[in-house]
């Protein structure tokens, strides 16, 4: 058992559990409020994140930040992490073994941060956290409660860059997160 996020991060930095470690510049552990009520889970680092060591600092992240700003959710009050901590080559999806090797770090991040709401960004996050029988198109915008945590699956912000029409759904899903947070008096 880990007692602090730093302890987990120290292990992540030297992790060689899968082949993704071979090409990384930096591991990308997570960022934000360590006591956040809202946690966001993405897929894995892209080129910008690999370079900077922080999640969602590239184009998709900037779009996501704009949505948060528009909704009045502050990035500093939430916590953001990914399924895998090292960049998959050419931004491909992480393979099952890579995600499986890495997931224990994320589980421990969730245990320590203790979020009330987890927003699952895209299919990779959804399937790895809630199971392969969930699909993003059918699941997005609907609350799923498991072991005291409310999950909101939504599109990955990179999908919005490829298809403008998904932006409205993404926005509406985040509105649901905002409304629930208000109702429950959560930090955002
Ligand atoms: N996409 C992700 O899923 N995570 C990041 O950190 C950046 C892009």
CATH number for 26: 3.40.470.10
Residue 115 lies inside a defined structural domain of this protein: yes
> Is 43 near ligand 1, meaning CB less than 6 Å away?
yes
Could you tell me the two tokens for 154?
């939504």
188 is a domain residue: no
Alpha-carbon torsion (169, 175, 178, 183), positive or negative = negative
Query: Which domain covers residue 140, as residue numbers?
Result: 5-183
Rounded to whole angstroms, how far apart are CA atoms 28 and 11? Answer: 12
Residue 64 CA, ligand 1 centroid: distance in Å: 10
- Angle at which helices 123-130 and 96-113 cross, to 10°: 70
Query: Structure pTM?
Result: 0.98
Give the tens place of pLDDT for each residue, 3-61.
999 999 999 999 999 999 999 999 999 999 999 999 999 999 999 999 999 999 999 99
- Closest C-alpha to ligand 1, atom 7: 56
- Residue 31 domain flag: yes
* Closest ligand 1 atom to 54 CA: 6
The helix (run of H) or strand (run of E) holding residue 68 is helix 59-71
Minimal-distance CA residue to ligand 1 atom 6: 55
Residue 103 inside a domain? The answer is yes
User: Is the CB of residue 74 less than 8 Å from the CB of residue 114?
Assistant: no
- Euclidean distance between CA atoms 125 and 44, whole angstroms: 9
**169 Cα: distance to centroid of ligand 1 (angstroms):** 19
Decide if 74 is inside a domain.
yes
């Amino acid at each position: 058992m880990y007692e602090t996020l730093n302890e987990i991060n120290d292990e992540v930095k030297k992790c060689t559990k899968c082949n993704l470690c071979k090409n990384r510049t930096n591991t990308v552990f997570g960022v934000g409020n360590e006591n956040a009520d809202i946690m966001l889970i993405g897929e894995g680092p892209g080129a910008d994140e690999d370079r900077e060591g922080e999640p969602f600092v590239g184009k998709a992240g900037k779009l996501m930040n704009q949505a948060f700003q528009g909704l009045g959710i502050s990035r500093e009050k939430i916590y953001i992490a990914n399924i895998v901590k090292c960049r998959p080559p050419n931004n491909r999806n992480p393979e099952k073994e890579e995600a499986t090797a890495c997931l224990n770090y994320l589980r421990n991040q969730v245990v320590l941060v203790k979020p009330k709401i987890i927003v699952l960004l895209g299919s990779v996050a959804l399937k790895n956290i809630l199971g392969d029988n969930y699909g993003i198109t059918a699941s997005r915008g609907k609350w799923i409660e498991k072991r005291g945590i409310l999950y909101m699956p939504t599109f990955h912000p990179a999908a919005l860059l490829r298809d403008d029409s998904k932006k409205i759904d993404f926005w509406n899903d985040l509105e649901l997160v905002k409304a629930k947070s208000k109702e429950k008096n959560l930090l955002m």
